[in-house]
Amino acid sequence: MKYNVLLVGKLDNNIRSIHIMMKEHFDVQLCMGDASVVDGMFKLLRPKMIFISLTDYEQNSYEILKLIEKKYSYITVVILGNENDFIRCSDFIDEEKYTIIKRPISINEMIKTCYEALGIMDNYQESSDKKDDDRKYILMVDDNAAQIRTIKGWLEEKYKVHSVLSGIQALNSVMEKKPDLILLDYEMPLFNGKQVLEKLRENKDTSDIDGIFLTSVSDKKHIIEVMELKPAGYLLKPVARKSMLKAIEDVFSNKVSE
């Protein structure tokens, strides 16, 4: 199972590129919030490492490091920035205390440093040297971290699985890499599973993505509404492992036979 990593910083092209590359190696959740948001993510995800991009994120970085010092001192901390970033933040960043990565640096060297920080160098392979992985790619969307951990444990031996905690994160993730299947929690705040699938259906590049709903909503009205979007399945929580695996296998079997 991949290590959980929380990637925090200003949302720009640089952090998007880091996110894409890190997902090949770790189970990465992207967070652009302040210390209170990061605190909530820590409680949900229980990450092994937090990776902080300093650029244009100094004040939040200060507050996040204070939070870690107070409540999460056991978490591995990696901080990325250029020389000027670290000069500006020298009052609160002790370069002896954290794992420091200074730009310019290659992506492979950056990832390698993360493995070293986590103490798992035996697992490291450069992206260009990694064996081809032709397993189907599944995106799981659920705001319940415990549910994510359980289902990922069922699936990861056979499928590549990436998880996100919200509908907005799901849409961003699909733009980065198109999944073969998306597992959608129906009930999520702000942007629920139905709305996510509606957005995917509106875009010609994502309209063919199969979706399976995972939900505790069983009333006829909701079922009719989502069935109009032609999902590949509708599983009621709590979902049994056998039912989940069969539903996924059926989706991919039907694709082959089409």
Give 42-84 pLDDT, tens digit per residue. 998 899 999 999 999 999 999 999 999 999 999 999 999 999 9
CA 69 to chain CA centroid, Å, is 24
Strands 76-81 and 27-31: unpaired
The Cα–Cα gap between 27 and 60 comes to 23
Examine the domain organization and report whether 150 and 225 are in the same domain.
yes
pLDDT reported for residue 127: 56
Examine the domain organization and report whether 114 and 176 are in the same domain.
no
| DSSP 8-state class, residue 223 | H
Examine the domain organization and report whether 226 and 174 are in the same domain.
yes
Of 129, 154, 177, the residue at which a domain comes to its end is: 129
pLDDT per residue as tens digits for the range 119-161: 999 888 765 555 556 889 999 999 888 888 889 889 988 998 9
> At what angle are helices 35-45 and 58-71 packed, to 10 degrees?
50
Is the pLDDT confidence value at 256 over 80? Answer: no
Average pLDDT, the chain: 88
Question: Does the model's pTM come out above 0.85?
Answer: no
pLDDT reported for residue 224: 77
Helix (H) or strand (E) holding 102: strand 99-102
Give the largest CA-CA distance in the chain.
62
Of 111, 129, 147, the residue at which a domain comes to its end is: 129
pLDDT reported for residue 211: 94
Examine the domain organization and report whether 124 and 179 are in the same domain.
no
pLDDT band at 191 (very low <50, low <70, confident <90, very high): confident
Examine the domain organization and report whether 110 and 225 are in the same domain.
no
The Cα–Cα gap between 222 and 228 comes to 10
pLDDT reported for residue 193: 86
Placement of tokens 């492992």 in the chain: 241
Q: Are 56 and 32 in contact (CB under 8 A)?
A: no
Range of the domain at 83: 4-129
Examine the domain organization and report whether 151 and 109 are in the same domain.
no
Q: What region does 204 belong to: left with phi over 0, alpha with psi -120 to 50, or beta? A: alpha
Residue 198 CB neighbour total at 10 angstroms: 14
Examine the domain organization and report whether 119 and 143 are in the same domain.
no
Examine the domain organization and report whether 210 and 98 are in the same domain.
no
Of 129, 158, 173, the residue at which a domain comes to its end is: 129
Examine the domain organization and report whether 59 and 151 are in the same domain.
no
Over residues 90-98, mean pLDDT: 92
Examine the domain organization and report whether 123 and 9 are in the same domain.
yes
Tell me the CATH number at 40. Answer: 3.40.50.2300
Examine the domain organization and report whether 162 and 253 are in the same domain.
yes
Return the structure tokens found at 53: 């991009």
**Tally of structural domains, the chain:** 2
Q: Are 60 and 78 in contact (CB under 8 A)?
A: no
Examine the domain organization and report whether 33 and 102 are in the same domain.
yes
